[in-house]
Structure 1
Amino acid sequence: MDPVAIRIGSVALVRWYGLLIVGGAILAAFIGSQEAKRRGEDPDHIWSAFMWCLIGGIIGARLQFVITASLENPAYLQMYLANPLNIINTREGGVGIFGALGGGLLAYYLYTRRNGLPFWQWADIAILGLPFAQAVGRWGNFFNQELYGGPTNLPWGIAIDCAHRVTPYLCPPLGDFTEATRFHPTFLYESLWNLFVGLALLYLARRFARQWPAGSIFNLYVVAYPLGRFLVEFIRLGTPLALGLTLGQFFSLAAGLAGLSVFILRLRRAASAEPSASA
């Protein structure tokens, strides 16, 4: 599996991972602009905020990887301390989805403040495209042969080249797992979950947008995506941090519980305000 989409001779110009991430981001912006238009808002704001969110997401994603990798493996911490420029070198390590979401959200908030837009209303608009972007972007892991699960006999198991195997699933002579071994395609599981979340949010936005307070659709995303990520982490190969859970699962729990709490609190506030408003 070649991770490079476009190359000239031996020079890799564009990798599938980056191409899919950018393509997914453009798809998310398109869906958000269509939702803005449906609500009678200016769709150009979505496209204007696009670069803000892309830059913020990249910075946040890299910071998450650097922090979590340093916590899980002291060798990474020593590397970053010895050569701080490696912090911005994405070829030395990778990125993190929760950091990308946090960085992109902060950038989007700053954009709405700068342009005098109600943040929660525009968060509901923009969030509708994000699950679809994630569904597309996750296929980058397939081309990179990374973030897969344990061995499986299921018909949709995927082959992983020996060069991309991790302990304890190495090929001979270092390990006992042959090239014929198939692994869980956890990228596919998460991609399908994101697709389901995106479709569900589109339905809820049309069914309840006028009944729920602004920001509710965004809050539901913050609940739904971490739920799927939490479950997939049980299959994906990773290092447990505590209680048999990985750091990604702890991030998922924190984000999901926070999103659910805010969603319930905002609904209760809206319900309690209705009697006084109609009195």
Structure 2
Amino acid sequence: MTPRFIPAPPDGLQTFSLGPVTIHAYALCILAGIFVAVWLTTRRWVERGGDGDKVGDIVLWAIPFGIVGGRLYHVISTPGPYFGEGGDPWAALEIWNGGLGIWGAVALGALGAFIGARRHGVSFTAFADAAAPAVLIAQAIGRLGNYLNQELFGSPSTLPWALEVDPAFRPEGYAEFATFHPTFLYEMVWNLVGAALIIWLDRRFDLRGGRTFWLYVMVYVSGRLWIELVRIDTAVTVGGLRINVWVSIAVLALAVAMFMILGRRQPDAEHRVPRNRLAAADDDPTDSTDATAHPADEPEHDDPATSQGKS
């Protein structure tokens, strides 16, 4: 008889050994997400006239920054297991056991991409637009690691798609419950649908100048907002709500405002130069000069979305 729930992952999937090396499935999910994100970003970047090799150069900056930022945010927003009573501070370094806060990962990952773009003479704004849906897909793939680690699930549920959680992984006070909301699955589906929507909207409405990136933020945050209300894992709360709920509200408001502001700065569609000629050059979208004078791999000059980082 087919169980009316998602079974817990079999024993032995969380970690396995290849000779003397221990492989963590969570890390493999993160790596798989990065691989897919780099592939899709490169494809979108080349379609815009950019040099595909530059994507790898920028990613080499973005990935380590993103991992460090994600871990820092996780430890700060969930300090109990590390610095609370009975906590283990050294466990804060054990990233292979799970725990990456998306807000820190995106913030520092974007900083790393900004540095990489500047060093390699690439428009950061255009790169962020090309990478936006790819990042969402990477986040979806990474959520498989949460399933394998049996972590970050929601409140108890008896729905047909509820997730079975082994007793050893059930939070204190929930030992009598066997199945929970699979928030990892909710976020996976939301992210994949959101990525497809972003790609379609970008092609349909030409969302250049940073708007694709801020659309990604809106899509992700709106999903994360309601998913956070379902989760029961330990987290800092403010005013009775998880800190991530407040962060989601603030970031969503910022994303909507930025999307609208940047939209007003874009020229009418009939006056735009095709993106395969402009590529990543969002430096001056109203410039009517030959677009080939601003190739994807030359530094921007007056890009509103990146000029704030200039000194």
Question: What's the TM-score, normalizing by structure 2?
Answer: 0.76
CA distance in 1, matches of 2:97, 2:134: 30
CA distance in 2, matches of 1:27, 1:92: 22
Structure 1 residues 86 and 169, CA, compared in 2 at 3 Å: closer, same or farther? closer
- For residues 39-78 of structure 1, give each alpha carbon's deviation from its aligned partner in whole angstroms, at most 9, with x where no partner exists: 12111111222221110111101111222223xx497168
- Residues 202 and 212, structure 2, Cα contact 8 Å, conserved in 1: yes
Specify the alignment match of 1:7 in structure 2: 17
- Picking from 134, 138, 147, the partner of 2:152 is 147
CA distance in 2, matches of 1:5, 1:90: 13
Specify the alignment match of 1:266 in structure 2: 262
C-alpha deviation, 1:110, in angstroms: 0.5
CA distance in 1, matches of 2:96, 2:49: 43
Higher relative contact order (CA 8 A, sep 6+): 2
Structure 1 residues 91 and 120, CA, compared in 2 at 3 Å: closer, same or farther? closer
CA distance in 2, matches of 1:93, 1:200: 29
CA distance in 1, matches of 2:108, 2:35: 17
- Residues 162 and 182, structure 2, Cα contact 8 Å, conserved in 1: yes
1:229 to 2:224 alignment: yes
1:136 to 2:141 alignment: yes
Residue ranges of structure 1 left out of the alignment (5+ in a row): 171-176
Structure 1 residues 48 and 201, CA, compared in 2 at 3 Å: closer, same or farther? same
Aligned length: 260
CA distance in 2, matches of 1:157, 1:78: 32
- Picking from 7, 10, 25, the partner of 2:34 is 25
Q: Secondary structure at the match of 1:129?
A: helix
Q: Secondary structure at the match of 1:40?
A: coil
- Residues 45 and 130, structure 2, Cα contact 8 Å, conserved in 1: yes
- Residues 183 and 230, structure 2, Cα contact 8 Å, conserved in 1: yes
Structure 1 residues 57 and 3, CA, compared in 2 at 3 Å: closer, same or farther? farther
CA distance in 2, matches of 1:227, 1:79: 35
C-alpha deviation, 1:228, in angstroms: 0.3
What is the one-letter code of the residue matched to 2:103?
F
CA distance in 1, matches of 2:227, 2:168: 24
For 1:102-141, what aligned pairs fall within 5 Å after superposition?
Answer: 102-141=107-146
C-alpha deviation, 1:213, in angstroms: 4.1
- Residues 98 and 146, structure 2, Cα contact 8 Å, conserved in 1: no
1:202 to 2:211 alignment: no
Q: Secondary structure at the match of 1:166?
A: coil
Structure 1 residues 93 and 23, CA, compared in 2 at 3 Å: closer, same or farther? closer
CA distance in 2, matches of 1:3, 1:92: 13
Specify the alignment match of 1:174 in structure 2: none
CA distance in 2, matches of 1:144, 1:213: 38
CA distance in 1, matches of 2:180, 2:265: 47
Q: Secondary structure at the match of 1:128?
A: helix
- Picking from 184, 189, 192, the partner of 2:189 is 192
Q: Secondary structure at the match of 1:117?
A: coil
C-alpha deviation, 1:242, in angstroms: 2.9
- Residues 46 and 126, structure 1, Cα contact 8 Å, conserved in 2: no
Residue ranges of structure 2 left out of the alignment (5+ in a row): 1-9, 272-285, 288-311
CA distance in 2, matches of 1:118, 1:132: 22
Structure 1 residues 99 and 156, CA, compared in 2 at 3 Å: closer, same or farther? same
C-alpha deviation, 1:129, in angstroms: 0.6
Specify the alignment match of 2:307 in structure 1: none
- Residues 118 and 124, structure 2, Cα contact 8 Å, conserved in 1: yes
Specify the alignment match of 1:157 in structure 2: 162
- Picking from 87, 90, 95, the partner of 2:95 is 90
Specify the alignment match of 1:173 in structure 2: none
Structure with a larger share of its residues in helix:
1
- Residues 16 and 143, structure 1, Cα contact 8 Å, conserved in 2: yes
Q: Quote the RMSD (CA, aligned, Å).
A: 2.6
CA distance in 2, matches of 1:201, 1:155: 30
